[in-house]
Chain A
Amino acid sequence: MTRITFIAPDGTRYDVEAENGSTVMENAIRNGVPGIEAECGGACACATCHVYVDEEWTDTVGAPEAMEEDMLDFAYDVRPNSRLSCQIRVRDELDGLVVTVPERQA
């Protein structure tokens, strides 16, 4: 199991155990993390599972692919560390990952 921490807009921390191979978005939904809407269900077809990857983790997590960048155009307050959490797969190297949920989804 890989540990992931979500920080909600109000500062509340959600520490969850995530299965490798699942997506970060799925773990947010499963654990009731507020602010992740995932309207399209993980098809990279909306931008409502937007998160900010903690600066220390951006290199390990990696950059979005072109399709995800396209979708990020629809997100609110996009920053260099913005990702769609449905496109981040949980793996061993992400143990301890911290992501912040933005104030609002698009």
Chain B
Amino acid sequence: MTQVTRTDVVIVGAGPVGLFAVFELGLLDLKCHLIDILDRPGGQCAELYPEKPIYDIPAWPVISGQELVDRLMEQIKPFQPQFTFNRMVCALERLEDGSFRVTTDEGEVFEAKVVVIAAGGGSFQPKRPPIPGIEAFEGKSVFYAVRRMEEFRDEDLLIVGGGDSALDWTLNLQPIARRLTLVHRRPEFRAAPDSVNKMLALRDEGKLTFQIGQVTALTGEDGQLTGARVKGPDGEVEIACTRLLPFFGLTMKLGPIANWGLNLHENLIPVDTEKFETSEPGIFAIGDINHYPGKLKLILSGFHEAALMAQAAKRIVHPDQRVVFQYTTSSTSLQKKLGVAG
């Protein structure tokens, strides 16, 4: 029997808007569980531009992506949000009693009366390198992540990339692979210098090969890879390999959201501007993922959407309670929830 986690609201996406939704829902006594494909909160702010200054957050003349995330985490702490990271929400279905069941790609099950999609540009997924015909090998001999190291034992392994993922897996898989070649387009790496030095030491001991270049073609049959052509500064070479691990960073894809029976408009979810509810009552969409006339993809717009959404979510979760609008500056009950009452 699968264990079911029950909460008031499941939030799909832990970017800035998903995080702030915890605050607005929390003031109305709604408990939240956030699910995100990344391994930490922050969404694009954490993954794409942690160091970049943002200039249009009200009252912050300048704040970095990571600092904004850190501040939001501090702000929502009193509401004790629960997080499930490294998971993609695969399925969203309505149960007989009108509530929702949310299932992740690892099979975890959540049930809630309200679902808030705050998925930004979609879920971050490994970028497919632009090598013709690579699709035919995916899942059989081309992998974008290492789930089980054993799958690479005694294989002729080709790893492509110059970041931490590429270097870490080079170091971890080298002892069990039959042969390992690392391909990167230039001699400089983005990865931690320590990992690079370890890799170069293994190369000097003859335990792996490092080749400068870009993979241009793959050979093999029925999904089984036999070799890759690498174009380098001194021309093209053929490298024999049975497994390929390309690490080309992440890109955003709408992903399974397209299969949830919601109306879509060019990969965005249309919502009303009173409650930010989708075509399915009880499912809301806020932040960059939604669409309505005049929509601007700004973090501050997402914050506003979260506040209005929370009012509607409250009525669904606690239909018997009267919602009294209150200010955090003057309401003792709100201040108690925030842990700041005098």
A residues adjacent to B (C-beta < 8 A): 39-40, 43, 45-46, 66, 69-70, 72-74, 76-78, 104, 106
Contacts and interface: CB of A to CB of B under 8 A. Distances in A.
A69 B52 contact: no
Interface in B205-259: 214, 248-249, 251-252
Interface of B: 48-49, 52, 127, 129-130, 161-163, 184-186, 188, 190, 214, 248-249, 251-252
B127 A106 contact: yes
15 contacts: A40-B49, A43-B48, A45-B48, A45-B49, A45-B52, A46-B48, A70-B162, A70-B190, A72-B185, A73-B184, A73-B185, A73-B186, A73-B190, A106-B127, A106-B129
Which 8 pairs from chain A and chain B are nearest by CB? Answer: A76-B130, A45-B48, A70-B190, A74-B249, A43-B49, A45-B49, A43-B52, A73-B162
Given A43-B49, A43-B52, A73 B163 contact: yes
Nearest to A82: B185
Nearest to B52: A43
A73 to B, nearest CB: 5
Contacts of A43: 48-49, 52
- Chain A interface secondary structure, helix, strand, loop or mixed? loop
B214 A74 contact: no
Given A104-B130, A106-B127, A69 B188 contact: yes
A3 B59 CA distance: 39
Given A69-B186, A73-B185, A106 B248 contact: yes
Contacts, number: 42
Contact of B130 (A40, A69, A106): A106
A100 B207 CA distance: 41
A104 B190 CA distance: 23
B48 A77 contact: no
A39 B163 contact: no
Contacts of A69: 186, 188
A39 B185 CA distance: 22
Residue among A43, A45, A78 with most chain B CB within 10 A: A45
A10 B187 CA distance: 33
B303 to A, nearest CB: 19
B231 to A, nearest CB: 9
Given A39-B252, A73-B248, A74-B127, 17 more contacts: A40-B49, A43-B48, A43-B49, A43-B52, A46-B251, A69-B188, A70-B162, A70-B190, A72-B185, A73-B161, A73-B184, A73-B249, A74-B249, A76-B129, A77-B130, A106-B127, A106-B248
Contacts of A104: 130
Contacts of A70: 162, 190
Residue among A43, A46, A66, A74 with most chain B CB within 10 A: A74
A70 B247 CA distance: 13
B170 to A, nearest CB: 15
